[in-house]
Structure 1
Amino acid sequence: MKHFSKIALTLTLGVLFNCQNDDDTVAIPDQSPVNTSVNFNYKSTINVGGEGASEISAFDPTTNKLYVVNVESNQISNYTITNIEAPVEETPINLSAFGAPNSVAIYNGKLAVAVEAVVKQNPGKILVYNTADNTLINNYTVGALPDMVTFSKDGKLLISANEGEPNDDYTIDPLGTISIIDLETDQVTTLDFTAFNSQQSDLEAQGFRVFGPNASLAQDVEPEYITVSENSMFAWVSLQENNGMAKVNLATKTIEAIYPLGFKDYNLPENSLDASDRDLVAQLKNWNVKGIYQPDAIAYANINGTDYIFSANEGDSRDYSGFSEEVRVEDLTLDPTVYPLSGDFQNEINLGRLKTTTTLGDTDNDGDVDQIYSYGARSFSVWSANGNLLHDSGNSIATETLAFSSTLFNDEDKRSDDKGAEPESVEILNLGNQRYILFVGLERTDQIMVYDVTNPIAPQFLTILSHTGDEAPEGLLVIPALQSPTGKDLLVVSNEDSGTVSFYEN
């Protein structure tokens, strides 16, 4: 494994305790050192199964079990990882009686599983198991296609993002919803977006997308991923296809706002990209193209008292038999005053192969395209709690992966016309409230980017983790040293294509 940068720093944190002496209370710092060095090394891999056997993982520190969403076998595979170099496979949890699993989460000996119905437009389930013996404790009915589930940080709530995808004919399009499960009362509150239907025009003007055939905004939104504030008061939910993010008040159980995420300008020098899979060269250029951020995974961190949301800007299109928005630039009718023929933009070695959408770009409604849009932003971004863009990584991912291995980049040049390296997942490691490390999983180049985001508006690239090819990391999980079976920070990577789970140790 090649590392571009190795940074070691050990800080002593003052943990205060009280010494009583009559009327005096003296605060004495505990001199226990917290290691904030970052040097993750590959340790081992679990072969869970074939393609689709490993998507999302969750770790239970009370039993040292790792639970893995195994779509291939319609089960939750689980392993005791007391020794991460020799994991022990345990009896899996069979889900055939409920449906197909999409997500897992763990809190204090409870395992939550998001399960879509056999007909995925029907309401789904959140199942809760006891990790001590894998017995089912309870099940809750939520909205259609629960795609992600997580606990609030205090463990009192479960929150699920119910994507509500249409059927393939696009004749049934259920509401996209967010369910909040109160584990103390077993009450389920499922929130929809009908209150925002009247705001559709204003939201679209700011870059939000509502474009499904005959769909209202409430039907069109597709909640994808959730992250929760440290105080368990708020949740943020990515609305990937719609290019937005919702903020949920967990105390009042209401959706407070939808934040349109706008577009990325690939004409700016820092945003150059490789737009062709037929140019036979790994070269980043500027083009008159806008990127639709469309984040998949998002992650929350409070750094120096400020809330930040980090997003993996994967991008996604709708491509159904009943409706597809996908089209290549070579098949568009371009406005010649914006994209003159002399520019040869529709040549496949230029922009011709780039995948774009039929739903955006004709700004003057005259039948030709005035602005080309592409899916995703080939980056990670940092947002404020109210959806303002604070930082985007620009072309950093493409630049660093190319520097890491030009051979690997060329192998994946077939994705240049689509979404590039395809940043899919993000996870943050908090090192003693002193240093914050961001991991970004790249589905198409089979790599993990590592950045120092202690200053969130000026992230610093550290290194790339890459074990082997054809893995397609789908889910990232950080196990901090205090909970880790090895006593050291772990990064657990769930790989969809290879059906494996890999461990990296700091």
Structure 2
Amino acid sequence: MLRLSLGAVLALTTALPALAEMNFNRIAAFPVMSNADNADEETSAEIIAASADGNTLVYTDSPLGVIGLIDITDPANPAPKGTIAMEGEPTSVAVVGQTAFVGVNTSESYTSPSGEMHVIDMAQGTQLATCDLGGQPDSVAVAKDGSFVTVAIENERDEELGDGGLPQMPAGFVVKIPVRDGTLACDGLQKIGLTGLAEVGGTDPEPEFVDVNRAGEIVVTLQENNHLVVIGADGKVASHFSAGKVSLDGVDTKKDGKLEFTGTLSDIPREPDAVKWIDDDHFATANEGDWKGGSRGFTIFRKDGTIVYDSGNSFERAVAAIGHFPDKRAGKKGVEPESVEFNIYGGTPLLFIGSERGSVVGVYDVTDPAAPELLQMLPSGIGPEGYVSIPQRNLLVSANETDAREDGNAPAHVMIYERSDKPAAYPMITSAGTDPLIGWGALSGLAAGGQGQLFAVADSFYGAAPRIFTIDVRQQPAQITGAIDITRNGAPAQLTDLEGITLDGAGGFWLASEGNAAKMVPHGLLHVDAKGEIEEQIGLPPELATQATRYGFEGVAKVGDTLWMATQREWGDDPAGLVKLVAYNTETEEWGAVHYPLDPKGKGWVGLSEITVHGDYAYFIERDNQIAQDARIKKITRVALDQLQPAPLGGELPVVAKEEVRDLIPDLRSTGGFVVDKVEGMAMDAQGRTYIVTDNDGVDDSSGETLFLPLGQIDPQG
């Protein structure tokens, strides 16, 4: 027998490498329109599933009435595999092997619901069978052993009828269909009634989501009824119970252009949407709400109805800390957790909670279901609806239903994430740990302070409570450490659109406000002290005011006694392709300007988003207003300071010569997502280290992502 001394054992164990921390990082973003015959048509990716080998994705596309297929043999380079028409509205999909089971809504009206289950051979693209479901299907799930398919027949209510409440007949139910020889045995369809169970609208159950555990038991959410039902392997109701209510403190409850996590909600019905089994005894619900409720979090139940964990306000606050809180939804359902996915990766049980309105997914370790541990928050595209986990390939996939091209934003995408020992790339900036929690978003201007500190402002999305944020860039991710309220006579300064910030050299700040006459917001400059109180407000002289458009000052920088402002687009007296760099001397109060030459326009417009000064140069962000596949111009340029000699207003202005310093599109693609539109802020510290930040539009028709990118020293002077 080999015997080792204690010292030898310790020497051996310390020589072994430590287990690496595993993280998810996005590696690809697939635009769903790539699968459409006409790329200009509205498309969507809602519910998504994967083939057994994990190489093919299938998703429902309601606007086109199809299911779409994606080849992810190389997950970093997903490829379109086309679509299959469903002759109705596909609502959900589940897969066994290479066979897809698709619920299709064929209803003529709310009062005459109908639907079918289509069985599709994904490899051949052919339809194998169709079953009449007897009502409007929502969620579809398959047994772990592939022996049956179950469908939530919602027979959804008309939200425009009366108060949109219950009851609205006909009632919903669940169906269970055997699978024989790889296809559905329609003659064995079992209809499982759910009436008379819920205290809320008991005559009109509206099943929303189903899932099946390894024992063959089905759990189903009755969302509007705020109820949960467990159906035994024999197809009979085994247990049922109310989802209950929750009271919350420390949440934002008002749609008021402020992010204040100090509100209270009392006795809110959970109204769960998605549900997933964690093991044979526990399942988790995403408590989106739909009629009277929505508790903004998730709950883990035992199948007997015992609550073993409720997230309370923690999920919503985690979303807010990374800038994804949707203020325009705050008054009702907040971040709206809608999706749940679960699987075991490398022996670790992981729960994924998706926020539809926050466009983010939380990754939780649920080794102990009574004490989930938040591991990561991942950006998930616009309006994530469904997720599929592929643990055998260390992949996670999100389907994002919102096609926001009509609003100038991105099309619907499918996002692919890989779990590896690489560091987590997101979030890049957070306010986690601040007390009280600092809400933030829509960051625009940046300025460098000292000792690893930056200052940032948010634009008019939060105009009701304008702020200066302090950022510690020595931490990873960058940490928002404080917020200075901008006040006028002690009250929040209204009618501002802060787009630029620079230090005044005496402890205060100069701020550039972009005007908008339609909102009665004036163009101009604000001088604030260290506490944020406005000491001076400077409007435009007539020569500028009479020519101004709403595309005004997008940045401000100080050179000696002179403030230089970058104007975003041409004003009324500017030749096409030339924008003003406006100068204001704080001592003499004189105004002047020069012209900056923009790159030629492609699709959309081209303009400036920022100005900062380092060494002998002024640096600019020049960009188009295009996003994703249409983005062409996102760059840093520079102009020598000796060219910034302001000429009098009203006459011909000298045109400066610019030099391109860095194409930012590769940096914006480095996160594995689509290229975002608004690169808005840039700062250089004393050592020339450069930081850029993107504006997430306050998560309004946006993915909510904020990219905060340290670019290192890009100034050749060092």
TM-score by length of 1: 0.70
Q: Quick check: 2:104–2:116 contact (8 Å CA) kept in 1?
A: yes
CA distance in 1, matches of 2:396, 2:219: 23
2:215 aligns with: 231
Whole-angstrom distance in 1 between the partners of 2:71 and 2:269:
41
Q: Per the alignment, in what secondary structure is the counterpart of residue 82 of structure 2? A: coil
Render the CA deviation track for 1:143-196: whole Å, top value 9, x for unaligned: 3111011111110100000001245657962121100001224411111124xx
> Residue type matched to 1:307 in 2?
D
Asked whether the equivalents of residues 63 and 131 of structure 1 are also in contact (C-alpha less than 8 Å), the reply is no
The answer as to 2:422 corresponding to 1:440 is no
1:338-371 deviations in Å (ceiling 9; x for gaps): xxxxxxxxxxxxxxxxxxx5xxxxxxxxxxxxxx
Q: Determine the C-alpha separation between the residues in 2 that align with 1:66 and 1:381.
A: 28
Aligned to 1:459: 372
Equivalent in the alignment of 2:261: 283
Deviation at 1:139, TM superposition (A): 0.9
- Structure 2 counterpart SS, 1:225: strand
Aligned to 1:493: 398
Residue number in structure 1 paired with 2:232: 249
Confirm or deny: 8 A CA contact 1:166 1:174 kept in the other structure.
no
Distance 2:81 2:67 in 1: 10
1:176 to 148, 169, 172: 172
Provide the rounded CA distance (Å) in 2 between the counterparts of 1:81 and 1:151.
22
Alignment equivalent of 1:502, drawn from 415, 418, 424: 415
| Worse-matched range after superposition: 114-123 or 149-158 | 114-123
Aligned mates of 1:238, 1:403 — CA distance in 2: 30
Note if contact 1:36-1:431 (Cα within 8 Å) is conserved in structure 2.
no
SS in 2 for 1:398: helix
Q: Specify the alignment match of 1:332 in structure 2.
A: none
Closer, same or farther: CA 118–285 of 1 in aligned 2, 3 Å: closer
Q: 1:45 aligns with which of 29, 32, 40?
A: 29
Distance change in 2, residues 1:36/1:111 (3 Å) = farther
State how far apart, in whole Å, the 2-side matches of 1:243 and 1:254 are.
20
Q: How does 1:92-107 map to 2 (within 5 A)?
A: 92-96=83-87, 99-107=88-96
- Counterpart position of 1:262: 244
CA 1:237–1:165 in structure 2 vs 1: closer, same or farther (change >3 Å)? same
Distance 1:68 1:275, change over 3 A: same
Q: CA deviation at 1:457?
A: 0.5
Q: Secondary structure at the match of 2:22?
A: coil
Cα gap change, 1:127 to 1:36, in 2 (>3 Å) = farther
Deviations 1:389-446 (A, max 9, x none): 11101111222122223xx43xx211110100110101112134x4211111111111
- Which residue of 2 is the match for residue 450 of structure 1? 363
Q: Does 1:189 align with 2:190?
A: yes
Contact 2:380 2:400 in 1 (8 A): no
- Aligned residue for 2:318, secondary structure, equals helix
2:251 — aligned with what?
273
Is contact 2:251-2:317 (8 Å) kept?
A: no
User: For the Cα contact (< 8 Å) 2:99–2:120, is it kept in 1?
Assistant: yes
The question of whether the paired residues in 2 share the 8 Å contact of 1:51 and 1:496 is answered with: no
SS class of match (1:143): coil
Corresponding residue number in structure 1 for 2:561:
none
TM-superposition CA deviations, 1:58-114 (whole Å, max 9, x none): 111348221110111110011111112222212311112xx1100010012211000
- Please identify the structure whose Cα radius of gyration is greater: 2
Distance 1:179 1:312 in 2: 22
2:400·2:413 contact (CA, 8 Å) conserved in 1?
A: yes
Per-residue deviation, 1:279: 6.4
1:273-313 CA-to-partner distances (Å, cap 9, x unmatched) read 211112623323335x21110111111012xxx62111110
For the pair 1:130 / 2:158, whether they are aligned, the reply is no
Q: Which residue of 1 aligns with 2:327?
A: 413
Written as runs of structure 1 = structure 2, the 5 A alignment for 1:288-303 is 289-302=266-279
309, 316, 340: which one aligns with 1:426: 340
Whole-Å separation in 2 of the counterparts to 1:465 and 1:479? 16
Give me the whole-angstrom Cα distance separating, in 1, the residues matched to 2:149 and 2:20: 31
Change (3 A) 1:43 1:459: same
Corresponding residue of 1:214? none
Structure 2 CA distance for partners of 1:62 and 1:457, relative to 1, 3 Å: closer
Higher relative contact order (CA 8 A, sep 6+): 1
- Corresponding letter in the other structure for 1:455: D
CA distance in 2, matches of 1:400, 1:172: 37
**What are the within-5 Å matches in structure 2 for residues 290-369 of structure 1?**
290-302=267-279, 307-317=281-291, 357=292
User: In 1, distance between residues paired with 2:157 and 2:253?
Assistant: 30
Distance 1:38 1:261 in 2: 34
Query: 1:423, 1:442 within 8 Å by CA — same for their partners in 2?
Result: yes
Separation of aligned partners in 1, 2:284 and 2:168: 33
Of the three residues 352, 376, 388, the one matched with 1:477 is 388
Q: Which amino acid aligns with 2:258?
A: L
CA distance in 2, matches of 1:125, 1:467: 30
Question: How do 1:109-148 and structure 2 match up within 5 A?
Answer: 109-120=98-109, 121-148=112-139
1:153 aligns with 2:144: yes
Structure 1 85/258 Cα, relative in aligned 2: closer, same or farther at 3 Å? same
| Residues 456 and 52 of structure 1: CA distance in aligned 2, closer, same or farther (over 3 Å) | farther
What SS does the aligned partner of 2:263 have? coil
Percent of paired sites with the same residue: 31
* Change in 2 beyond 3 A, CA 1:286/1:158: same
Paired with 1:378 and 1:290, the residues of 2 have a C-alpha distance of 13
- Of 182-191 and 155-164, more deviation after overlay is shown by 182-191
Matched to 1:153, the amino acid is K
Letter in 2 for 1:384: R
Q: Which amino acid aligns with 1:238?
A: T
Structure 2 residue matching 1:272: 3-state secondary structure: strand
- Deviation of 1:467 (Å): 5.6
Alignment of 1:366-377 (within 5 A): 375-377=293-295
TM-score (structure 2 length as normaliser):
0.50
SS of equivalent residue, structure 1 residue 427: strand
Structure 2: any 5+ residue segments left out of the alignment? 1-16, 34-40, 404-411, 420-718
Q: For 1:387, what is the secondary structure of its paired residue?
A: coil
Taking the aligned partners of 1:169 and 1:264, their CA distance within structure 2 comes to 28
The code of the aligned residue for 2:247 comes to D
Aligned length: 375
1:450 counterpart letter in structure 2 = V
Checking the alignment, whether the CA contact within 8 Å between 1:143 and 1:179 is kept in structure 2 is: no
The answer for the alignment partner of 2:72 in structure 1 is: 81
